[in-house]
Chain A
Amino acid sequence: MSAPATLLRREFIKAGAALGGGLLVSLYLPPVDADGNVAEGADEQQFALNAFVRIGTDESVVVISSHSEMGQGIYTSLPMLLNEELEADWARISVEAAPVDKVYNHPIYGVQMTGGSTTSPAEWEHYRKMGALARTMLVQAAAKQWNVDPASCHVEKGVVIHAATQRRATYGSLASAAAQLPPPANVPLKPVSAFTQIGKPTRRLDTPSKTNGSAQFGLDVILPGMLTVVVARPPVFGGKAAKIDSTETLKISGVKAVEEIPSGVAVIATGFWPAKLGRDKLVIEWDPGPNAGLTSEEMLREFSETSKQPGKVAKIVGDPATALASAAKTITAEYDVPYLAHAMMEPLNCVVDLRADSCEIWTGTQFETVDRANAAHVAGLDPEKVQIHTTLLGGGFGRRANPASDFVVEAVHVAKVAKAPVKVVWTREDDIRGGWYRPMWHDRFAAGLDASGNPVAWTHTIVGQSIMMGTPFAGFAIKEGVDSTSVEGAADILYGIPNLQVDLHSPTIGVPVQWWRSVGHSHTGFSVEAFLDEVAYAGGKDPYELRRKLLEKQPRMLAVLDLAAKKANWGEKLPAGVGRGIATHFSFDSYVAQVVEASVGKGGEVRVHRVVCAVDCGLVINPDTVKAQMEGGIIYGLTAALKTEITLKDGRVEQGNFNDYPMLRMYESPEIEVYIVPSTESPTGVGEPGVPPVAPALANAIFAVTGKRMRRLPIRASSLA
C-alpha cells in the first residue's frame, strides 16, 4: 500500500513525538529484576538483546523483521542496516518475521505494516541503532570480563578483540553476559563515510530457499487436522445469497460442510479439490444488491461528463483561468485508466486456528495491526489473544494490506463455523474478481502555451474513487474533501509552470478500491507525462528539452533526466519503425526518469525493445535490490500499459484468470537498463517509483513512431492497426 511519505511523515512528527520517541532501548529488552537479572521465562540459550536482534550462544544472529518480505528484498536490507553497526559475521545472520506487537509499529504510520515504499526510509536509523546498541553491550560485556576499557576493544566479524592483550571473545560467548548489562542510553552511529556494508551489492538472504521449494508462503502452511475451504462469493459487489442448495455439494467425498458466512457460502472439505468441486456444485440464487447496474463503458462516459466541471481544488498556483484565456495556443486532452487487480502470483489465502481463548493466524500480510484488530473483533477476543504469523508473501503490491482485512476476517468467520483449523484458499478467479482494485480514473487537461511554445497554464481535473476514505489513514490523508493519494503526482509536479490548477471529483461507487503499487501515481504518472509530451509537440519543442527547461529548479530530477537521456542516446537515430519516448516521475520521495524504445507492428501490436531507467533514491542500501525493484516496477507498469483491465458489465467483473487478465510474459519483456545516481541523502522509496514513468514513456514512444496519441490504458492493438 502506499500514501505519500512526505505528507504522512510531516503529519506524524506533529502527531507523535510519542510514536517516534517511544523507540527506547528499554522497550526492547527482556524484563529485568531489581538486581539486573533477566526475569524468569527468558530463554537461557537465546538471550534477547532486544526485540530486533537475537544473538544465540551458538553464535546465531537472528534479525527480527518488523516488515513483511513480499519480494522487495527487505529481509536482506534490514539485516544489512542492523549489521552495519552490529558487525557480526554476515554468514551467521538469518531473519525472522516479527510477531504483532506495538514495538514493531511502522515509525511513520503508527501501525505494524509494510507499504508506501517506506521501509528503508522509516527503518534506516532504527535498525542501525538496534545494531549499535547490541554491539555496545557485547563490547561492554567483554571489557567487563577482561577488566579493560571498552574503548580499547574493537569488533571483527562478531568477535570482540582487545588488541593490547590479544584477547578475543565471540558474540555468542558474550551474549548472556551482555543481556545482564543496563542498556546504554544512547549510542553514536557511524558516519556514512565509515560504512562497510551499506551500499555494497549484497546477495539476498532469501534466495536459496526460493530456489529449492523450501520457502514458506501462506498457502504452504499445514496444521494437523486442518480443513481446506473455498468460498462462493456474490458475483456483484454488495450482493448476498438469497437461496442456497447444497445437496449435490454434500454428496462429494471429502466435503464436510457448507456454511453461510457474511462474505458468501463456505465449502469446508478435507482438501482443496473436493472444496472446489463442491463449490462448483452449489446452486445459489444471489440477491445482487445495489450495484448490479454498474457497467464500465457507462462509467467512462459519466466520468468524462463529470470532469467538465472543476472539482474540489487540490492545488492552485497563479491564475490559471486568466493565463489559459490569454494563451497564444491552448490544447486539451482526456485520459482514462481502468480498474486493475493486483494479481499477485500467490492467490489470497489465510490459515486460522481459533480456540476458546486464542486465535492464531498464518498468512502473508502487509497489515498486521489492522488484521489483528479486525480478526479479534470477529473472534470476540481481545487483540492480545490474536497472534499473526507473517509468512513470506507471494507478491503483495498493496493487496495484502486490506483496510477491512477481507481475507483474514473471512477466514476467522469460517473458523468459527468449521470448529477446526482452516485454510481458506482463493482461486485465481476469486482473486481477480474479489475487488479492492486500483480505481478507474479519468484525467482532463488543458494547457496554455505562450508565443514561444512554453507552457504558461495547466489545468488538470481528476475523477476517481477515494482510496483512503474509510481506512485508518483517512484522518490525515483526506483534507477538505481531497484525498491526497488521488492527486499525488499531479498536485505536486516538479515542473515549473507558473499558473496551475489541479482539482478532484471523488464519486462514491460500490466497487471496493485499494492502493495498488504506486497508488495515485499509477494514473497521474501516465496522464501528466503523456499530456506534457502533447504540450511539447504543440509548442514545437523536443520533449526531453522541454522537460529540462521546466526542471531548471529541480537539480535532482534534472540529473536523473539527463542521465536517462544520455544512456538512451536521446536524439540519435533509431532503426526505421522504432520510436523513443521519455518520462519522469517523482514519487515516494524518489526521482525516476525512463526512456522507452518501441515499435508497432502492422496489426497494431506494440513491441517494447528497450527501457532505460535512471533513479535517485537517496543513499542506496543494496544496489542490486534497487535495480531489481526498478526492473520489476517497469514490467509491472508495462503490464498495466499493454495488457490488463478490470471491466464491469451489469455489476459483474468480466475477467477471471490470466487468459483475460493477461500478464506480460518472457517473450514480451524488454531489455532493461537501470542507472542509479549516487547520493548521500537519506534513503527514499524504491518498491513503487519504478512503475509510474513507463506507461507514459511508452505512449510517447508510440506517438514518436506512429503520430497517434494513446490516451487510454491498456493500449490496444485495435487503436494502432
Chain B
Amino acid sequence: MTKFFVNGKPVQVDVDPSTPLLWVLRESLALTGTKFGCGMALCGACTVHLDGKAIRSCVAPVSRAEGKHITTIEGLSMDLTHPLQKAWIELDVPQCGYCQSGQIMSAAVLLAENLKPSDEDIDEAMSGNICRCGTYPRIRKAIHRAAELASERRPK
C-alpha cells in the first residue's frame, strides 16, 4: 500500500510500487488531466509537482510519492483563478490542448521560483514540454502575462 497526498487529500493505492505515478493518477485515482505522451520523460505531457518540484510522472515510480504531496493540474485551481489559467484563457493558448496540463504545471514551477522570468528563463524551463500544435509563441506570452497578473495580486 502506497500512501501520499494528491491535491491536498490523503490517498492510498494498492498497486505494484514500480507502477509509474502517471498511471496511478489516471487509472487508480481517475485524475485524467495528467497526460500520457511518450513514457520516457521526453515530452512533459505528464508533468506534476512532487513537493513543489516539477517531475515527469510517466517515469516516476509511485513509491517515490510515498508520504509526499503531489499536485496535478486538477489541483492548480478548478475554478480557473490561477494566474497561468487566466493568462492561458486571455491569450487563447491551447489548440488541441493535450499537452497543456503539462505546460501549465511546468510553468507553475517556473513562476513559483522566478517572479519575472526572462525569455531565456522560459526557454530553460519550458523546453522539456513538447507541443505538436505549435503553441510555443503563445505559451511564452502567456507566461509573461501570468507573471504580471501574479504581481498585481501580490500585496505591494
Check A212–B132 contact: CB distance below 8 A: no
Known pairs A213-B72, A219-B36, A428-B39; A346 contacts B126 (CB<8 A): no
* Residue contact A345 to B132, C-beta cutoff 8 Å: yes
Q: With A211-B88, A666-B139 in contact, do A219 and B35 touch (Cβ < 8 Å)?
A: yes
The reply on A25 being an interface residue by CB < 8 A is no
Summarize B's interface: helix, strand, loop or mixed. Answer: loop
User: Does B97 contact A71, Cβ atoms closer than 8 Å?
Assistant: yes
Complex CA–CA separation, A659 to B43 (angstroms): 9
**Residue B42 CB within 8 A of the other chain:** yes
Asked if residues A208 and B80 are in contact (CB atoms below 8 Å), the reply is yes
Given contacts A222-B30, A666-B122, contact A427 B98 (CB under 8 A): no
Decide if A70 is an interface residue (CB 8 Å cutoff).
Answer: yes
Which of B23, B104, B131 meets A345, CB within 8 Å? Answer: B131
> How far, in whole Å, are A396 and B33 apart by their CA atoms in the complex?
19
Among the stretches A89-97, A177-185, A294-302, A387-395, the one at the interface with B is: A387-395
Q: Does A458 contact B (CB under 8 A)?
A: no
Q: Across the interface, do B134 and A215 meet the contact criterion of CB distance under 8 Å?
A: no
Is B127 part of the binding interface, using a Cβ–Cβ cutoff of 8 Å? yes
Instruction: Tell me, yes or no, whether A658 is within 8 Å of chain B by CB.
Output: yes
With A215-B97, A272-B27, A273-B23 as known contacts, state yes or no: A253 contacts B16, CB within 8 Å: yes
Query: Shortest distance in angstroms between A198's beta carbon and chain B's nearest beta carbon?
Result: 17
| Interface flag for B40 (CB, 8 Å) | yes
Q: How many residues on B have C-beta within 8 angstroms of the other chain's C-beta atoms? A: 62
The answer to the question of B76 belonging to the interface, with a C-beta cut-off of 8 Å to chain A, is yes
Residues 50-92 of chain B, each 1 if its beta carbon lies under 8 Å from chain A, else 0: 0000000000000000000000111011101000110011001
In residues 625-640 of chain A, which contact B (Cβ within 8 Å)?
628, 631-636
* Contact present for A395 and B132 (CB under 8 Å): yes
Instruction: Convert B8-33 into 0s and 1s, putting 1 for each residue whose CB lies closer than 8 angstroms to a CB of A.
Output: 00000001100110010011101111
**Is there an interface contact between B92 and A207, defined as CB atoms closer than 8 Å?**
yes
List the B side residues contacting A573 at CB < 8 Å. Answer: none
Interface status of B115 (Cβ within 8 A of chain A) = no
Please name all residues of chain B whose beta carbon is closer than 8 Å to the beta carbon of A635 when the two chains form the complex.
Answer: 131, 133-134, 136
Q: How far is the CB of A560 from chain B (nearest CB, A)?
A: 21
B127, A632: Cβ atoms closer than 8 Å: no
B137–A665 CB distance below 8 A: no
B-contacting 9-mer, from A307-315, A541-549, A667-675, A709-717? A667-675
Q: Once the chains bind, are B78 and A203 in contact (CB under 8 Å)? A: no
Contact indicator A212/B135 (Cβ below 8 Å): no
Chain B residue, CB-CB nearest to A632: B134
Asked whether, in the complex, the Cβ of A636 is within 8 Å of the Cβ of B126, the reply is: no
Instruction: Give complex CA distance A384, B104 in Å.
Output: 41
* Complex contacts, A228 vs chain B, CB 8 Å: 27
Determine whether A206 belongs to the interface, using a CB cutoff of 8 Å to chain B: yes
B151 contacts across to A, CB distance below 8 A: none
Known A-B contacts A211-B89, A253-B16; the reply to A632 vs B38 at CB < 8 A is no
Complex Cα gap A207–B16 (Å) = 36
- The reply on B95 being an interface residue by CB < 8 A is yes
Which A residues lie within 8 Å of B133 (CB)?
Answer: 71, 345, 395, 632, 635-636
**Known contacts A395-B98, A666-B129; is A659 also within 8 Å of B137 by CB?**
no
Collect the chain B residues with CB atoms within 8 Å of residue A212's CB: 33, 73-74, 76-78, 80, 85
Q: Are A345 and B99 closer than 8 Å at their CB atoms?
A: yes
A to B contact number (C-beta, < 8 Å): 186
Which of the residues A206, A214, A669 comes within 8 Å of B94, measured between beta carbons? A206
Interface contact A628-B130, CB-CB below 8 Å: no
Residues of A within 8 A of B131 (CB): 345, 635
Interface membership of A72, Cβ < 8 A: yes
By a CB distance below 8 angstroms, the chain B residues around A215 are 97
Least CB distance, A10 to chain B, in whole angstroms? 31
Interface mask (A88-114 → B, CB under 8 Å = 1, otherwise 0): 000000000000000000000000000
Given the complex, which residues of B lie within 8 Å of A259, measured CB to CB? none
Question: Among A72, A346, A633, A666, which residue has its beta carbon within 8 angstroms of that of B136?
Answer: A666
**B98 & A346 in contact (Cβ 8 Å cutoff):** yes
Q: Are A628 and B42 in contact (CB under 8 A)?
A: no
Question: Residues of A contacting B88 with CB < 8 Å?
Answer: 207, 210-211
CB distance from B137 to the nearest CB of A (A): 5
Which B residues are CB-close (under 8 A) to A624? 92
Check B127–A211 contact: CB distance below 8 A.
Answer: no
**Chain A nearest Cβ from B44, distance in angstroms:** 10
Any chain A CB within 8 A of the CB of B96? yes
Q: Is A345 a contact partner of B130 (Cβ separation < 8 A)?
A: yes
> Which chain A residues (206-241) contact chain B, with CB distance < 8 Å?
206-217, 219-220, 222, 228
Residues of A within 8 A of B (CB): 69-73, 203-204, 206-217, 219-220, 222, 228, 253, 271-274, 343-347, 392-397, 425, 427-428, 624, 628, 631-636, 657-659, 663-667, 669, 671-672
Q: Would you give 6 A-B contacts (Cβ < 8 Å), ordered by A?
A: A272-B36, A345-B133, A394-B97, A628-B92, A631-B135, A666-B123
When A and B form their complex, which 10 residue pairs have the shortest distance between CB atoms, in order from nearest? Answer: A213-B33, A635-B134, A394-B98, A210-B97, A71-B95, A71-B96, A213-B73, A669-B136, A632-B134, A220-B32
Chain B residues at the A interface, C-beta cutoff of 8 Å: 15-16, 19-20, 23, 26-28, 30-40, 42-43, 45, 72-74, 76-78, 80, 84-85, 88-89, 92-101, 104, 122-124, 126-140
